[in-house]
Chains A and B, each alone.
Chain A
Amino acid sequence: MPETDSASSTNSGKDLDLVPFRMPSLGADMDSGTIIEWLVGPGVEVHRGDVVALVQTDKSDLDVEVFHDGTIAEILVPAGVKVPVGTVLAMLAAPGAAVESGPTAETAPVVETGPPPLPPETPEPRVLTLPSPEPLAHIASPVLRHLAETLHVDTGHLHGSGTGGRITRDDIEHAGQRRRVTPRARRLAREQGVDLTTFPTGGAITGDSVLDRQPSGPPTAASQPAPSAAPRGPDPEAMRRAIARLMTTSWQTIPHYQVATRIDLHLMLDALEQRNAGHTATERILPAAALVRAAARAAASVTGVNGFWIDDAFVPGDGVHIGVVVALRRGGLLAPVVRDADRKDLVTIMAEMRDLVTRARTGRLKASEVGGATFTITELGEGGVDSVAPIIHPPQVAILGFGAVHDEAWAEDGMIAVRAVVHATLAGDHRAIDGRIGSAYLTTLTKYLQEPLES
């Protein structure tokens, strides 16, 4: 978790105005992460919310934000090192006396969910404090060398603007500025020996633009991606193993029960169609957003489904933060989080879901967006199945699954009509909640899905 605790800031000695920046929560199933890249170095001023590092977990690469204003005093964990959640990654010199106050009221509740982070028992690798004095291709710092690799900047061709012609971070960033490389382009470039550094900066390098190039001879050292400069997104096998661990834990420790119901969606779908007709394709609101909103409101109003089972007790969530399962086409899944989804309107939820789904699939989520879910929803409707009996993401106590929306025969008032219907299944942790609560949840969900849409 990214919150500071001022007690441990004193561990590092006399420096009372230093705030530790810790490896944040990386999602329910992740207890460690590897720093792939630092985007800042000592002396750099940072502000709350700035992305300061790129961290790799078995499931995804995440942008990690800093939760305090300050100046980076020291990087304690260099790129390439894997450390447990909670490990101090860097020390921040915070402005003024605010440092001693610990977490502010604003930051404190943000990710206060899930089990407490593992204590950083492993000795912090302080020996690797930057900068390293060893020049290689006249770049002193391993961080800068790594940055150059990641941005595919051929430093052999760079003119350093630093003292004595040293290459600075600015030089590298400038050379690699805004160059986006798609994973397909990276793969093709590697296969075909195309040097990505020879592409102009400023636009996206796509697979097509790589194919348009003649191979530029045997790959040079600079074009040979280092292991750490691999395309964003983890090794699919590592993701598989991560999912396997989480689901095995869930299935072996959580006594699941399932309750299911059919829900008539014709009112909701009619209202959405009407609303969308007056908007462009871009502004469309999908049924998925309305389902998430109703599910979140129901989770807020039925006590017991929104939260965690920790140490033989139910711990309610600090808000209704909905993990939305996103299946990745290459296999595997992620569950980015719509925070406080019960209090957001439909347009906001739709916008957030679009953004999260895109970034989940292109590998640009932030750590704060995958941690802290208090309840999870999986929608398998796109695949066409009628229903799904989902498996809980521990330590959460419930998960809701939606199947496809199909026209079905629907009996009402002694008549049979054809209605658009969805099958909703709630899986509950029977240690924490009984079937009565699960049933009350689905009843409440059904009620919310019959209400007129708010605009």
Chain B
Amino acid sequence: MNTSDPHAIVAEALAMIAPDVDPDDLDADLHDDLGLDSMDLLNLAAELSRRSGIEIPEREYAALRTIRQLEAFLAR
């Protein structure tokens, strides 16, 4: 059911963690603007890793603040 499309992966992961967040809000800050707290962000990282097979290093994850940045990371 996974695709390799980063936008689809992020949208599906967000639907599991924060279904009320619009995955097309690419440049909103996930924490400050969209209201995800640290527990949500951690769960999102886990869901992204599970769906993409890419392990996100602790240090890099802190710098990923928007959906666009998450997609860019998965597309690398």
Contacts and interface: CB of A to CB of B under 8 A. Distances in A.
Interface of A: 180, 182-185, 202-204, 206-208, 276-277, 279-282, 284, 286, 288, 329-330, 353-354, 357-358, 361-362, 382
B15 A206 contact: yes
Given A206-B15, A382-B31, 12 more contacts: A184-B19, A204-B16, A206-B23, A207-B15, A207-B22, A208-B8, A208-B23, A276-B58, A281-B42, A281-B56, A329-B18, A358-B39
A203 B61 contact: no
Q: Is the interface of A mostly helix, strand, loop or mixed?
A: helix
22 contacts: A182-B19, A184-B15, A204-B12, A204-B15, A206-B15, A279-B58, A280-B49, A280-B57, A281-B49, A281-B55, A282-B56, A286-B42, A288-B38, A329-B20, A329-B21, A330-B20, A357-B39, A357-B40, A358-B40, A362-B17, A382-B31, A382-B37
Contact of B57 (A202, A281, A288): A281
A282 B13 CA distance: 14
A228 B12 CA distance: 25
Given A288-B39, A358-B17, A282 B45 contact: yes
A206 B8 CA distance: 10
Contacts of B15: 180, 182, 184-185, 204, 206-207
A253 to B, nearest CB: 31
B38 A286 contact: yes
Interface string B33-58: 01101111011011001000001111
Give the most central of A180, A185, A330, A361: most B CB within 10 Å: A361
Contact of B43 (A203, A204, A288, A358): A358
Nearest to B35: A329
A40 B17 CA distance: 28
Nearest to A289: B39
Nearest to B58: A281
A353 B12 contact: no
B40 A361 contact: yes
A362 B42 CA distance: 15
A288 B37 CA distance: 11
Nearest to A280: B55
Nearest to A379: B37
A437 to B, nearest CB: 30
Contacts of A329: 18, 20-21, 34-35
Contacts of B42: 281-282, 284, 286, 354
A184 B57 CA distance: 30
Contact of B58 (A183, A184, A280): A280
Contacts of A279: 58
Contacts of B31: 382
Contacts of B74: none
A161 B76 CA distance: 49
Nearest to B50: A282
A281 B44 CA distance: 10
Contacts of B20: 183-184, 329-330
A382 B58 CA distance: 19
A353 B37 CA distance: 13
